[in-house]
Homo-oligomer: A and B are copies of this chain.
Amino acid sequence: MDWSIQDIARIAGTTSRTLRHYDDIGLLKPSRTGHNGYRYYNQAALVQLQRILLLRGLGLGLPVISQVLDDEADATKALAGHLEWLKQEQDRLARQIASVTQTIEAVKGGGEIMAEDMFDGFDHTQYKDEVEERWGKDAYAKGDSWWRGMSADEKSAWKQRSRQLGADWITAATSGIAPDSAEAQAMAKRHVEWLTGIPGTPASDVAGEVNDGGKARLKAYVTGLGEMYVADARFAANYGGQDGAAFVRDALAFYAEQNL
């Protein structure tokens, strides 16, 4: 007792094209082939097909499924590995949802997706409210006047330096080194020094102080900034996306913990 290709397709809830595909890649061969080339499937093939569709429904890829069917012993292993991947995907999705949500808010408020001066320390036009709220009422005014006081060449040089810093971070993040490695910590040091060059932020304020209260504020500023890089997709974009930004955040956090 066997069925034609359409028959099992209907029984199993799939299409004949899929069955031909599985035949092509050797995942499921028909149990019998007619003299005319027609594919026929028997009970055993149907069970195999059900298994395939079951595993596929769980999100496994066809090569993995093939391997699991060959050796059902490591089915548990394959499934466990897949489960890990699924959980990572879930985390990634959660972060993306948070990012999109926040970006919607930012775009609603700011108007543009990314301002031209984004990343140059912080945005001096789009981030007025946010800067005032997070770092104090006069922080924005200070930073703004400092920026406006620069000549075109100075601005250009500053931007160049900022971009270079970002590019180097990206290089570091994608090179596979750890956030607490010497190279990454050197980058963190450079980043903090760079921050210190921007008036109107806790970083620059602290530069002239020696008391501990100032150092505590700097530490909070640096770590907080790292979080913001990850949370705000517009900043994250400057570090090669969320993954790169996460690397920067981790490196900064470790640096702050050790040195500030």
Contact = CB atoms under 8 A, between A and B. Distances in A.
A75 B107 contact: yes
A59 to B, nearest CB: 5
Contacts of A112: 72
Given A90-B97, A97-B90, A244-B13, A107 B76 contact: yes
Interface string A46-89: 01001101110111000000001000100110011011001101
B116 A104 contact: no
A118 interface: yes
Contacts of A236: 54, 57
B58 A99 contact: yes
A53 B11 contact: no
A108 B43 CA distance: 25
Contacts of A82: 100
A13 B241 contact: yes
A92 to B, nearest CB: 9
A11 B159 CA distance: 12
Contacts of A156: 1
Given A59-B100, A86-B96, A90-B93, 15 more contacts: A10-B170, A13-B166, A47-B114, A54-B234, A54-B236, A57-B99, A58-B99, A58-B100, A58-B103, A75-B113, A79-B104, A80-B104, A82-B100, A86-B97, A90-B97
Interface of A: 1, 10-14, 43-44, 47, 50-51, 53-55, 57-59, 68, 72, 75-76, 79-80, 82-83, 86-87, 89-90, 93-94, 96-97, 99-101, 103-104, 107-108, 112-114, 116, 118-119, 156, 163, 166-167, 170-171, 174, 233-234, 236-242, 244
Q: Closest 5 interchain pairs by CB?
A: A13-B240, A13-B170, A54-B237, A57-B241, A11-B167
